[in-house]
Amino acid sequence: MSDIVEDSSLEKALSVTTAMMSTRDIDRLFDLIVETITSSFGFEGCDAYILDNEIDEFRLINSKGYSEEETKQFIGTTAPKKKILNDIEESERLGRFTYLYKAKPGQSLNSYYGLMHPERASLPRENEDDWHELDVLYVVFEDQNGNTIGFLEPDSPLDRKLPSKNLIINLEIFASLASIAVANAELVDELNTTIENYKTLSEAMVALQEPVDLKETLRKLADALSKIVPFDEISVYLIDWERDLMIPAFATGPFAENIMADVGPICGLAGEVARSGNVEMIADSHNDPRIVSIPGLDSLGENDGQAMMCIPLKSKAGEITGVLDLYRDKRNKFTRHEFEISEPFAAHSAAAIENAKLREELKENFESVRKAYEDIKQVDQAKDSLVNTISHELRTPLTTILGYLEMASEGLYGEVPPKLKEKFSTMLGSINRINDLVSKMLEMSRLQDETLSLELESVNLATVAKEVVKDYEEEAAARSHNVNVLFGNELPVVRADRLRMRDVLAALVDNAIRYTKDGGTITIGADILAGKVHIWVRDTGVGIADGSKGKVFDKFFLADAGLTREDGRVGIGLFISREIIRKHGGEMWFDSRKDVGSTFHFTVPIGSVAPR
């Protein structure tokens, strides 16, 4: 190869350096480099290797000169870094970047993955400067620190001669420029990979926080992880420490069904990872004695082993709650970089799984509560129906009994002795209380099924309140209570059912008297509040405990059975009172302090307001 041709080749090679220097895609860059070696420097073929720092081996990244089938077969294969550097060291150094290994007679073919012209391999070297089929030319790439980051193997020079001094000089110049381009492309590729992984990781974290069930969460986990750490199969086991079980929760691949049925003790590689909390990366599943119970493993041949990465899933509290197993072809081992990505991903995944499990538990609990509520509702409806039926059935006989007792007490059936008259009086009091209770039960029933109708008229609540106070003078006096009314007759007129408003006030005054110790004070006041007449009844009684305040207006609630059961009260007066006020378009509430007293309030709209 003449010097003129070689100088011309360098010019051609240098003409692509601009494109080479501006290329940041590592695959595209090596396309340009290999193309330049073959088209500008007179070689029939060329292999390009780049150092994979994760596995400390050189990986075949580009090749030209072989058939398409052979190229596909060998691209991606690796050679140990130590062996390659040793081979280069034993070769003849032609320059800073170029080395030549001259094959010796009878050279073994075992060290060659392929030969461009195998028929020449056994032929002797005729002349000292002839190229032999088993010769190897190394053109290395170095980073700024002088470390080898890749190399080329130009093969089969077209002139069948060993490279001349001039060609070596040209290759040296080209290699120095290519080294810079490769180092820059690697930095950009690493940066782009980091950015893409961060973006994918962020998107995955968002997706994993979506409120879905456990199965869907695990599917999202697998989809997201596959974008940053490619795998062929995945298995997720949940750890039940109390029962010493690994429970499969998700699996893909041809043995997924077997894996999902493989509930067993915490053992093997996954068990060790669960107990240690450390990630394990396995180069070949066939060569690790801890991997003995993976469904489907026995069906794989000796050459079909898998690379594995086993990752613990830690809860927010730091407890191992599961194990994530990734599998892929053993020729594509998991790398340290993939481990560094997988570890934070697993932490977020564990949180997402924990949240999904909580959602499922909450859902189950909600369904249980909902069913219990429906059952209680049905029981409540049955109880209301029973109360309504009994109340109706009691109404007629009670009226009859009451009528006969009154007539007997008045002597219509003959003279009544004093002692018997006293007994009649007691019976009449009891019948009246029962009759009043039945009336309230029927009122409650009509309020619940919304069949209660109001007889609206113009009502002065001040007058009604004073009437109620007068009705309870004896009861108040018997308890030495002081009852104060803080208003005259100046309250605005409201549209209301007078009898029912009287019942409401009577219920509040009655409660105040009964729940206040002897010698207490009961105050009734009124004002205007937001366009409504506001009435309040305050006592200095026992008050209501904080734990009971939420139930005061519930049906059948009694704040203190000792004060109420003895006179036949059943705790529906406040419920009925509030519902009547609401039907008038108002509201009822209270404030209370234990051992200080209570104040009950209600409002009724002024003027003509459509009842609810």
Q: What is the pLDDT of residues 538-559, one digit of tens each?
A: 999 999 988 888 888 887 777 6
pLDDT tens per residue across span 454-485: 889 999 999 999 999 999 999 999 999 999 99
296 and 312 fall within a common domain: yes
Q: 388 is written with which tokens?
A: 């309504």
The secondary structure of residue 317, as a DSSP letter, is T
283 and 356 fall within a common domain: no
Q: 65 is written with which tokens?
A: 């000169």
Question: For position 529, which CATH number holds?
Answer: 3.30.565.10
3-class secondary-structure state, position 44: strand
Q: Is 198 within a domain?
A: no
Instruction: Write down the pLDDT at residue 3.
Output: 43
Instruction: Write down the pLDDT at residue 20.
Output: 63
Which one has a higher pLDDT value, 583 or 5?
583
Q: 122 is written with which tokens?
A: 């056994």
Instruction: Write down the pLDDT at residue 234.
Output: 85
Is residue 204 predicted with pLDDT exceeding 60?
A: no
3-class secondary-structure state, position 487: coil
Answer yes or no: are the C-beta atoms of 486 and 549 closer than 8 Å. no
372 and 440 fall within a common domain: yes
Q: 473 is written with which tokens?
A: 């003078």
Measured CA distances, 89 to 145, 148, 153, 320, 495 (Å): 18, 12, 15, 49, 109
Report d(CA 236, CA 273) in Å as an integer: 13
Q: Exposed, middle or buried by CB within 10 Å (0-12, 13-18, 19+), for 324?
A: buried
Pairing state between β 532-539 and 597-605:
antiparallel
Instruction: Write down the pLDDT at residue 379.
Output: 67
Measured CA distances, 541 to 409, 511, 520, 595 (Å): 38, 10, 7, 7
3-class secondary-structure state, position 568: coil
Q: Mean pLDDT over residues 398-419, rounded?
A: 74
Range of the domain at 576: 456-605
561 and 494 fall within a common domain: yes
Is residue 218 predicted with pLDDT exceeding 90?
A: no
- Token pair 């081992």 in the structure block, residue: 333
3-class secondary-structure state, position 482: strand
Q: 605 is written with which tokens?
A: 């709209």
Q: Is 520 within a domain?
A: yes
Q: Mean pLDDT over residues 221-226, rounded?
A: 75
Query: Which phi and psi angles does 171 have, rounded to 5°?
Result: -65, -35
Q: Mean pLDDT over residues 184-203, rounded?
A: 66
Instruction: Write down the pLDDT at residue 1.
Output: 42
101 and 142 fall within a common domain: yes
Q: Mean pLDDT over residues 503-508, rounded?
A: 94
Question: Mean pLDDT of all residues in the chain?
Answer: 80
Question: For position 112, which CATH number holds?
Answer: 3.30.450.40
Q: Mean pLDDT over residues 165-182, rounded?
A: 86
Measured CA distances, 235 to 280, 307, 324, 327 (Å): 15, 14, 6, 9
Lay out the sheet containing 320-329: strands in order across: 264-265, 245-251, 233-240, 320-329, 306-314, 280-282
Answer yes or no: are the C-beta atoms of 491 and 603 closer than 8 Å. no
Domain boundary among 398, 418, 451: 451
Select from 536, 541, 514 the least CA-distant residue to 524. Answer: 536
Report d(CA 341, CA 91) in Å as an integer: 39
Is residue 421 predicted with pLDDT exceeding 70?
A: yes
Q: Which helix (H) or strand (E) holds 99?
A: strand 98-101
Q: 234 is written with which tokens?
A: 């995945």
Instruction: Write down the pLDDT at residue 516.
Output: 94
Q: 202 is written with which tokens?
A: 């962020």
Select from 225, 226, 228, 208 the least CA-distant residue to 217. Answer: 208
Question: Best-predicted range by mean pLDDT among 68-72, 112-116, 125-129?
Answer: 125-129
35 and 105 fall within a common domain: yes
Q: Is 339 within a domain?
A: no
Instruction: Write down the pLDDT at residue 296.
Output: 55
Is residue 199 predicted with pLDDT exceeding 70?
A: no
pTM exceeds 0.85 for this model: no
Is residue 137 predicted with pLDDT exceeding 90?
A: yes
Is residue 434 predicted with pLDDT exceeding 90?
A: no
Query: Which phi and psi angles does 147 have, rounded to 5°?
Result: -85, 140
pLDDT tens per residue across span 575-598: 889 999 999 999 999 999 998 999
What DSSP string describes 5-34? HHHHHHHHHHHTHHHHHH---HHHHHHHHH
β-sheet bridge partners, residue 193: none
Instruction: Write down the pLDDT at residue 259.
Output: 83
Q: Is 188 within a domain?
A: yes
Which one has a higher pLDDT value, 447 or 400?
400
Return contacts of 82-88, CB within 8 angstroms, 24+ apart: 82/56, 84/49, 84/58, 84/151, 85/148, 87/136, 87/138, 88/138, 88/140, 88/148, 88/151
319 and 434 fall within a common domain: no
Residue 115's pLDDT band, with cuts at 50, 70 and 90, is confident
Sheet strands (E) in 409-502? 456-459, 482-485, 494-497
Question: Best-predicted range by mean pLDDT among 408-412, 429-433, 513-517?
Answer: 513-517
Report d(CA 490, CA 493) in Å as an integer: 9
Domain boundary among 412, 434, 451: 451
90 and 110 fall within a common domain: yes
435 and 525 fall within a common domain: no
Instruction: Write down the pLDDT at residue 410.
Output: 77
Q: Mean pLDDT over residues 594-612, rounded?
A: 81
Measured CA distances, 103 to 112, 114, 131, 267 (Å): 12, 15, 9, 53
Answer yes or no: are the C-beta atoms of 160 and 130 closer than 8 Å. yes
Which one has a higher pLDDT value, 328 or 316?
328
Question: Best-predicted range by mean pLDDT among 294-308, 379-393, 491-505?
Answer: 491-505
441 and 465 fall within a common domain: no
CB atoms within 10 A of CB 503: 19
Is residue 19 predicted with pLDDT exceeding 80?
A: no
221 and 236 fall within a common domain: no
Instruction: Write down the pLDDT at residue 332.
Output: 81
Q: 393 is written with which tokens?
A: 């059935």
Domain boundary among 403, 422, 451: 451
Instruction: Write down the pLDDT at residue 520.
Output: 94
Q: Which helix (H) or strand (E) holds 186?
A: helix 165-208
Q: Is 554 within a domain?
A: yes
Q: Is 530 within a domain?
A: yes
Q: Is 250 within a domain?
A: yes
- Print the SS3 string covering 277-306: CCCEEECCHHHCCCCCCCCCHHHCCHHHCE
Number of domains composing the chain = 4
447 and 476 fall within a common domain: no
Name which of 90-104, 292-306, 455-469 the model is least confident about: 292-306
Q: Is 137 within a domain?
A: yes
- Print the SS3 string covering 502-561: HHHHHHHHHHHHHCCCCCCEEEEEEEEECCEEEEEEEECCCCCCHHHHHHCCCCCCCCCH
Question: For position 216, which CATH number holds?
Answer: 1.10.287.130
Report d(CA 131, CA 117) in Å as an integer: 12
CB atoms within 10 A of CB 279: 17
Q: 55 is written with which tokens?
A: 């596995």
